[in-house]
């Protein structure tokens, strides 16, 4: 018998508007504006009706190139309501890097905030045919549309297509081991199961409050706390970005219960004058993601009575994957804990066999929160997801009690300030310089950013080049976090017996 399809996908804000209409669901920290779930749902409905009036239907891509703002959140939920596929544009990338991504996503409309007017005008000539540009505020071109017109639309949703859990809600572009961006698809089901995992495993409830400081183009922005909080009726405090003074205000004055940041942000907080005076004990959960957190940073939180812990996530696995019980935070300080409630994991050797306790191997993940694959990249999908298991490329071990430890990242990728840097991509750009004969990149420790790039450069015979000249060459070709902090000029790049760059030797050459 053929399986009958289930078309029902819940409308989160609509349900919240019915269950807890007068509860404050969102505070825009930049403007001080508070929205009840009823008001938030009405605002998102207006946005959905506006998008539909522009010809956006189920399956159409909606690109948004914006910093965190209320309109961005409304557009996320509006796309979910009408079955459109949200494409979050990473504003840290250069115009040159974004061109291929936009061509791949093929958006039907391209929404932007005023911060990126100059970039929009450079990108406009590669928009797909008939793609409409929509300004959130200030227009880059007189002919662009104005999202503010959505305020005049009905607050009752006028178009609601049948949706399945497998239907895409968003595309989040992430780098790969080749450095080429891949659009990880997030389905309605992926979002739902990440919510369930977070609520069930982390104990999120309706009285919880968390700020949203991470950029919304990252999976961690909406998924770590915002979506789960809407699911249970908690409160999100929307912030434009991470700001030190603002962070201390949130902790001291806004009653937040949950906080997430990357190690760089925590280091900056601990170096701030307000660190010693701030009471953190009202926080139920403080978690670090994006990279391994130095033990001294963790210890400073423990000394304040906070059960600070490390998390682990990746775009392809929706964001939240582990839980370390509070009573084990100090004993298992380097562990990320157990897999979340509806998540299965294992570590495997190179031959695919399962690792023994404390044996290092590649981390594999499976569960209903895993992406179904990459947009327009079936080969990359088959390479990453095999027999239902997502091959993360990260190295981990499991101790005798079943606690997981993330050891490092394979294939040379490193994380700088919470952002993935893929050496092959940077090396490729460096090789484009007319006097650079060879280049190799690796990550080295950095007190503020966790890791930064160190580039080894071989020049063409008789040529000269300095650090400043290389950085100027890279400025418009790579995002700032990808540009190496250190350059070492050498006569030749060491190679292995089979001709690969020997990065073990290079590491020994770093002063």
Residues 457-477: tens digit of each pLDDT: 999 889 999 999 999 999 999
The per-type count for the chain, helices as H runs and strands as E runs, is 15, 26
Last residue of a domain, one of 119, 136, 164: 164
- pLDDT > 70: what percent of the chain? 95
Confidence of residue 2 (pLDDT cuts 50, 70, 90): low
421 part of a folded domain: yes
Final residue of a structural domain among 131, 164, 197 = 164
pLDDT in the model for residue 6: 62
What pLDDT does residue 403 have?
97
| pLDDT confidence of residue 347 | 97
Q: Looking at residues 405-411, what average pLDDT do you find? A: 78
- The whole-number pLDDT of residue 511 equals 66
Residue 146, helix vs strand vs coil: strand
What is the rounded average pLDDT for all residues in the chain?
A: 92
Q: How many CB atoms lie within 10 A of CB 69?
A: 18
Residue-wise pLDDT for 274-287, tens only, equals 999 999 988 999 99
What is the rounded average pLDDT of the residues 43-71?
98
How many Å apart are CA 302 and CA 308, to the nearest integer? 7
CATH classification at residue 113: 3.40.50.980
Within-domain flag for 373: no
pLDDT, residue 3, reads 53
Q: Cβ-count burial of 62 within 10 angstroms (0-12 exposed, 13-18 middle, 19+ buried)?
A: buried
pLDDT tens, position by position, 287-321:
998 767 878 888 899 999 898 999 998 999 998 99
Model pLDDT, residue 57: 97
**Sign of the C-alpha dihedral computed for residues 452, 322, 67 and 190 taken in this order:** positive
| Greatest C-alpha distance within the chain | 74
Which residue in 205, 138, 459 sits closest to 470, CA to CA?
Answer: 459
> What pLDDT, on a 0 to 100 scale, did the predictor assign at position 179?
57
Residue 431 covered by a domain: yes
Between the CA of residue 128 and those of 59, 100, 181, 210, what are the distances in Å?
A: 16, 12, 19, 38
Asked whether the predicted pLDDT for residue 65 surpasses 90, the reply is: yes
| Tens digit of each residue's pLDDT (9 = 90 or more) over 349-383 | 989 999 999 998 999 999 999 999 999 999 999 99
Centre a 10 Å sphere on the Cβ of residue 507 and count the other Cβ atoms it contains.
12
Using the predicted structure, report yes or no on whether residue 498 has a pLDDT greater than 60: no
Cα distances (angstroms) measured from residue 356 to each of 214, 349, 386, 400, 441: 36, 9, 21, 9, 33
Residue of 261, 140, 273, 139 whose CA lies nearest to 211: 261
188/295: higher pLDDT: 188
Amino acid 176: pLDDT: 52
Query: Which has the higher per-residue pLDDT, 264 or 371?
Result: 371
Domain boundary at 112, 129, 164, which?
164
CB-neighbour burial class of residue 278 (10 A; exposed 0-12, middle 13-18, buried 19+)? middle
The domain of 121 spans: 34-164
**Total domains, the chain:** 2
Residue 465 resides in a domain: yes
Closest of 263, 261, 265, 264 to residue 283, by C-alpha: 261
pLDDT of residue 49: 98
For residue 492, the domain's CATH number is 3.30.300.30
494 part of a folded domain: yes
Q: What integer is the mean pLDDT of 475-480?
A: 93
Q: Is the pLDDT of residue 177 over 70?
A: no
Beta-carbon contacts of 387 under 8 Å, excluding residues fewer than 6 positions away, are none
For 120-135, the pLDDT digits (tens) are: 999 999 999 999 999 9
Residue 116 has pLDDT above 50, yes or no: yes
Residue 297 lies in a domain: no
Q: What percent of the chain has pLDDT over 90?
A: 78
In a domain, 405, yes or no: no
Quick one: average pLDDT of 243-263? 93
What's residue 1's pLDDT?
46
The pLDDT of residue 496: 61
- State mean pLDDT over 325-351: 94
Per the DSSP assignment, residues forming a β-bridge with 486 are: 454
The answer to whether residue 276 sits within a structural domain is no
Instruction: Spell out the residues 6+ positions from residue 443 whose beta carbon is closer than 8 angstroms to its own.
Output: 412, 414, 415, 416, 421, 423, 451, 452, 453, 454
Instruction: Taking residues 389-417, report their average pLDDT.
Output: 89
pLDDT at 265 (0 to 100): 85
**Contact call for residues 200 and 221 (beta carbons, < 8 A):** no
Q: pTM for the full model? A: 0.87
What is the spatial distance between Cα 472 and Cα 280, in angstroms, rounded to a whole number?
42
């Amino acid at each position: 018998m053929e399986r009958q399809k289930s078309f029902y996908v819940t409308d989160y804000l609509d349900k919240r508007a019915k269950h807890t209409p007068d509860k404050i669901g969102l505070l825009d920290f930049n403007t001080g504006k508070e929205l009840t779930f009823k008001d938030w749902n009405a605002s998102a409905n207006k946005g959905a009706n506006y998008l539909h009036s522009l010809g956006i239907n189920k399956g159409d891509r909606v690109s948004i190139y914006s910093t965190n703002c209320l309109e961005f959140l409304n557009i996320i939920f509006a796309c979910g309501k009408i079955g459109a596929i949200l494409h979050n544009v990473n504003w840290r990338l250069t115009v040159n890097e974004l061109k291929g991504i936009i061509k791949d996503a093929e958006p039907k409309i391209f929404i932007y905030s005023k911060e990126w007017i100059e970039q929009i005008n450079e990108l406009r000539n590669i928009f797909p045919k008939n793609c409409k540009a929509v300004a959130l505020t200030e227009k880059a071109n007189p002919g662009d549309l104005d999202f503010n017109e959505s305020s005049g639309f009905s607050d009752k949703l006028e178009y609601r297509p049948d949706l399945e859990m497998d239907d895409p809600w968003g595309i989040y572009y992430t780098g790969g081991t080749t450095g080429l961006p891949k659009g990880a698809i997030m389905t309605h089901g992926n979002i739902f199961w990440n919510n369930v995992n977070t609520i069930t495993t982390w104990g999120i409830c309706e009285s919880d409050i968390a700020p949203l400081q991470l950029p919304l183009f990252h999976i961690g922005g909406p998924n770590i706390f915002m979506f789960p909080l809407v699911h249970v009726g908690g409160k999100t405090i929307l912030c434009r970005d991470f700001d030190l003074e603002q962070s201390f205000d949130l902790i001291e004055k806004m009653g937040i219960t949950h906080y997430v940041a990357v190690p760089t942000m925590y280091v900056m907080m601990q170096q701030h004058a307000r660190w010693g005076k701030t009471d953190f004990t009202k926080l139920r959960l403080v978690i670090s993601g994006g990279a391994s957190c130095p033990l001294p940073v963790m210890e400073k939180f423990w000394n304040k009575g906070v059960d600070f812990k490390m998390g682990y996530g990746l775009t392809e696995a929706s964001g939240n994957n582990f839980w370390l019980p509070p009573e084990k935070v100090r004993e298992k300080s380097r562990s990320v804990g157990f897999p979340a409630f509806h998540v299965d994991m294992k570590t495997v050797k190179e031959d695919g066999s399962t690792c023994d306790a404390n044996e290092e191997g590649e981390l594999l993940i499976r569960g209903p929160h895993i992406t179904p694959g990459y947009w327009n990249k079936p080969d990359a999908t088959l390479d990453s997801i095999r027999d239902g298991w997502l091959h993360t490329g990260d190295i981990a071990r499991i101790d005798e009690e079943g606690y997981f430890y993330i050891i490092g990242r394979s294939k040379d990728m490193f994380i700088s300030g919470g952002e993935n840097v893929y050496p092959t991509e940077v090396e490729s750009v460096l090789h484009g310089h007319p006097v650079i004969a060879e280049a190799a990149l690796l990550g080295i420790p950095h007190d503020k950013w966790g890791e930064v790039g160190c580039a080894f450069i071989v020049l063409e015979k008789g040529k000269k080049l300095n650090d400043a000249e290389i950085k100027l060459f890279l400025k418009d070709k790579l995002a700032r976090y990808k540009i190496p902090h250190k350059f070492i000029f050498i006569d030749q790049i060491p190679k292995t017996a089979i001709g690969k760059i020997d990065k073990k030797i290079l590491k020994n050459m770093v002063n």
